[in-house]
Amino acid sequence: MKKLLLASAATALLAGAASAEEIKIGIILGFTGPLESITPAMGAGAELAIAEVNAAGTLLGGATVTGIRGDDGCIDAGLATATAERLITGDGVNAIVGGDCSGVTGAMLQNVAMPNGIVMISPSATSPGLSHNNNEDNGLFFRTAPSDARQGVVITDILNDRGIKSVALTYTNNDYGKGLADAFQAAFEASGGTVTISAAHEDGKADYSAEVAALASAGGEILVVAGYVDQGGKGVIQASLDSGAFDTFYLPDGMYGDSLLAAIGDDLNGSFGALPGTDSDGATVYQGLASAAGFDGTSAFSAESYDAAALIMLAMQAAGSSASADFAAHVMDVANAPGEPILPGELAKAIEILAAGGDIDYIGATAVELIGPGESAGNYREYDVNGGAFVTAKYR
């Protein structure tokens, strides 16, 4: 017994000596709920960045980083708040990667992160409502995903380039759909286009013929479907094609998925859309790292999650401190020029440069460029549906 005690005491001492500090990062995503199919790859992305930094072992002179997963349920603000509360006050996390959906992200920020002064970087919340232009977030909130206000402008540009002046618009009846629809309508009308009707549709219905009837009556050259690929969006497109109401559709980010091609078939040819994406080298590098780690790096928002975790740790190094109050101000510095460009897999190099007092420009897996109140400027991949496949047209 005495020996055992001695041994454990010695181990504790050794462990204490080996790591100067133990940093904890909360990874709060909707591991249950409507996005549960993509959150595993998002969590794995964040953990990949953490593993990379740990392997280097040089962060803040030898600190180890632990990722702690928590569930926000995507649409359950109560659960999200409780989880964030537990991770911050119980586990004592230094920063949070999350949340994934806009509603719960706002709830966690207001109720827990801001009162406790903890930095949050969301990889996937895109609601324009989360743009804190007047510092309502005390400078604590960032996102590696672009705001849907930006997507509204991108859609407008694409439609104008193709000479489309009048569209019908339908959106899924939630924060995402409404936010995107409003952003797009404002941008499109400002550019001289006409939105003949902006009508909501509910997800999970068997029949969308009534919704389509109203859209068809209003008319328009094409139909913009701001919905979900496995939900009402697909139903609206199917019903439109069946009744001959619309032949061509614009597909925003929520409508990108191979399941749509499989469900609709050749009738979808000629439709087009755009989703966040970049042709930078970072994306390819990241996909290689992800497959080596055993998960799918092309899964939606997985790369953004890696970037969110990486930004947190690099900002800590730049500030020379793991306290949110200290490093919050450095997130923008490490994300943007000037400095040495940093791709995925080069976090050790970045830490070295920062430790030596240099400057970095984190490119990461998604060509991160933080603008305005700390959100991604947003790179979009425009594509056409041609011959039953998504064909990349160009990057915006």
Contacting positions for another protein (CB under 8 A): 173, 197, 199-202, 204-207, 209-214, 216-219, 230, 235, 242-245, 263
Cβ proximity to another protein: between 212 and 351 the closer is: 212
Neighbour tally for 210: CB within 10 Å = 11
Min. distance of Cβ 366 from another protein in angstroms?
Answer: 31
Q: Which residue, 33 or 378, is less far from another protein as judged by CB?
A: 33
CB of 102 to another protein, least distance (A): 21
**Complex with another protein: residue 32 or 173, whichever CB lies closer:** 173
In angstroms, give the least distance from the CB of 204 to another protein.
6
First to last CA, the chain: 67
Based on CB atoms, which residue is closest to another protein, 23 or 168? 168
Q: How far is the CB of 385 from another protein (least distance, A)?
A: 18
Pick 241 or 323: Cβ nearer another protein: 241
Distance CA 79, CA 95 (A): 18
At a CB cut-off of 8 Å and minimum separation 6, what does 249 contact? 222, 223, 224, 225, 237, 240, 255, 268, 271, 273
Of 218 and 261, CB closest to another protein: 218
Q: How far apart are CA 364 and CA 45, in angstroms?
A: 12
Cα separation values, 138 from 59, 105, 356, Å: 26, 15, 29
**What Cα–Cα distance (Å) separates residue 324 from each residue in 308, 333, 343, 370?**
14, 15, 24, 18
Token code pair at residue 265: 């078939």
**Closest CB to another protein among 75 and 95?**
75
Q: Give DSSP secondary structure letters for 89-121.
A: III--SEEEE-SSHHHHHHHIIIIIHHHT-EEE
Q: How far is the CB of 56 from another protein (least distance, A)?
A: 43
Nearer to another protein by Cβ, of 100 and 211: the residue is: 211
Rg of the Cα atoms in the chain: 23
214, exposed or middle or buried, with CB in 10 Å at 0-12, 13-18, 19+? middle
- Please state the closest distance from residue 227 (CB atom) to another protein, in A: 14
Least distance from another protein to the Cβ atom of residue 171, Å: 12
Minimum distance from residue 244 beta carbon to another protein (Å): 2
Residue 62, Cβ density class (10 Å: 0-12 exposed, 13-18 middle, ≥19 buried) = exposed
Reported as type and span, the H/E element at residue 27 is strand 22-29
Rounded to the nearest whole angstrom, what is the least distance from the CB of residue 72 to another protein in the complex? 22
146: left (phi over 0), alpha (psi -120 to 50) or beta: beta
Spatial CA neighbour of 364 closest among 291, 300, 292, 285: 285
- Give the 3-state secondary structure of residue 130: helix
CB-nearer residue toward another protein: 91 or 242: 242
